[in-house]
Amino acid sequence: MERPLRAARAATYVYFVLCGTLMGTWVVQIPAIEERVGISHATLGGLLVVLGLGAFVGMQVAGPLTDRLGARIVVPAGGVLCGATLILPGLAHDPWTLGGALLVFGLCNGCLDVSMNAHAVHVEKAYGRPVMSGFHATFSVGGVLAALAGAGAASAGLHPAAAMTAMGAVGIAIALMAARALLPAAQRTEAPAESGRATGRVWLLAVLALMVMLCEGAANDWGALHLKDVLGASAGTAAFAYGTFAAAMTIGRLLADRLAARFGSLAILRHGAAMAAVGITLVALGPWLWAAFTGWALFGLGLSGCVPQLFSAAGHADPAAAGANVSRVAGLGYVGMLAGPAVIGWLTHLLALNHTFILLTLLCATTAVGAGVLRTGPDRARRPAMAADSH
């Protein structure tokens, strides 16, 4: 069993990298596609909401399908569809066709996202120790690979459609090759009453995910503008705000599994959210650049382990319904990710940009207080021998 389990873990890493790479390929091509289609930033913002809505629908569809059909079918299918539809935005010639392309691509990306997270829950359960944060860290690795590939394609003068077709074709091949290593479908073992109680707990986890991911979304879009408009930093310096946040997130996720194994998921969520609250408060109130960079680093480091713990807890609430439960948490969290930039933007009509970040402080503090929901879940079965062998 040890070798198949290790292979399943490796395959899960592959799919997380794949998902990050395919989404990152679209992201790095946004400026070229925006210019080619001839749309404004405002129109692009609306179209990105369409992509998000497609992803939300895909998550809700893929979750129950993964529980019913198993990850060996749904995860590679999601990878193949995501790779195949990646070309569509590159072929768009007006806002309507771009909107349709993003809706379809978002739907397929959502299918891959939830199904691979559901499979990650089963891998983690089999290992008997936390491994979810490591998977999420490799998603960021995929974004880095996409950025490097995008830079190479731009230097070579490739049309966006050609670059996206090439990456999509590679993605399809990888999705198919990694499929055999995935674990078989889990069998339901819980009684209906237990599953019903688990569902209520999952929605509490989903609310926490919404708050955490709203904070992430706000940081992604407003960090650089804060340094430039509030602290007077140059454009080059301001760009490092997001870089600092993203680097801290990646480092934190690489460390979070070992910390969770030693101190527990509850401690990671509670202390991580509290650290994030301190960090974003420093950003909101600090008048110096060094304070802002320190704050963004603490914010990213604190938030880094929160979402993986919430996804993991949702999946373990009822392993046989891991896909449906993860889709609820991921779906509501994704709503928060989309809403974060808009909420901060609306608040800037009432407050200075840095003062709007106090809302993020309140959300992080609320998450820290509500972290006790993790304690109400069933204890994970531990397999010490296998955990030791898997290092």
CATH of the domain at 20: 1.20.1250.20
For residues 257 and 160, give the distance between their C-alpha atoms in angstroms, rounded to a whole number.
37
134 and 216 co-located in one domain = no
Amino acid 387: pLDDT = 40
In order of 170, 171, 352, the CA distances from 83 in angstroms are 8, 5, 42
For residues 3 and 347, give the distance between their C-alpha atoms in angstroms, rounded to a whole number.
53
Count the neighbouring beta carbons within 10 Å of the beta carbon of residue 159: 14
In a domain, residue 30? The reply is yes
> The domain containing residue 160 runs over which residues?
2-181
23 and 140 co-located in one domain = yes
Q: Select from 149, 181, 213 the last residue of a domain.
A: 181
Angle at 126 between CA 194 and CA 377, to 5 degrees: 30
For residues 9 and 32, give the distance between their C-alpha atoms in angstroms, rounded to a whole number.
36
For residues 86 and 148, give the distance between their C-alpha atoms in angstroms, rounded to a whole number.
17
Amino acid 272: pLDDT = 95
Amino acid 77: pLDDT = 96
14 and 88 co-located in one domain = yes
209 and 176 co-located in one domain = no
Contact 341, 221 (CB under 8 A): yes
233 and 164 co-located in one domain = no
Number of domain units in the chain: 2
In a domain, residue 21? The reply is yes
Strand, coil or helix: 334: helix
Full pLDDT tens readout for the chain, 391 residues: 588 899 999 999 999 999 989 988 887 787 788 888 888 767 777 787 888 889 999 999 999 999 899 999 999 999 999 999 999 999 999 999 999 999 999 999 999 999 999 999 889 988 888 889 999 989 888 877 887 888 788 788 888 899 999 999 999 999 999 999 998 875 444 444 445 556 778 889 999 999 999 998 888 767 777 787 777 877 667 767 777 887 888 899 999 999 998 998 899 999 999 999 999 999 999 888 888 889 999 999 999 999 999 988 888 887 778 888 888 898 888 888 877 777 887 888 888 888 989 999 999 999 999 988 887 554 444 333 334 444 3
201 and 157 co-located in one domain = no
Amino acid 148: pLDDT = 81
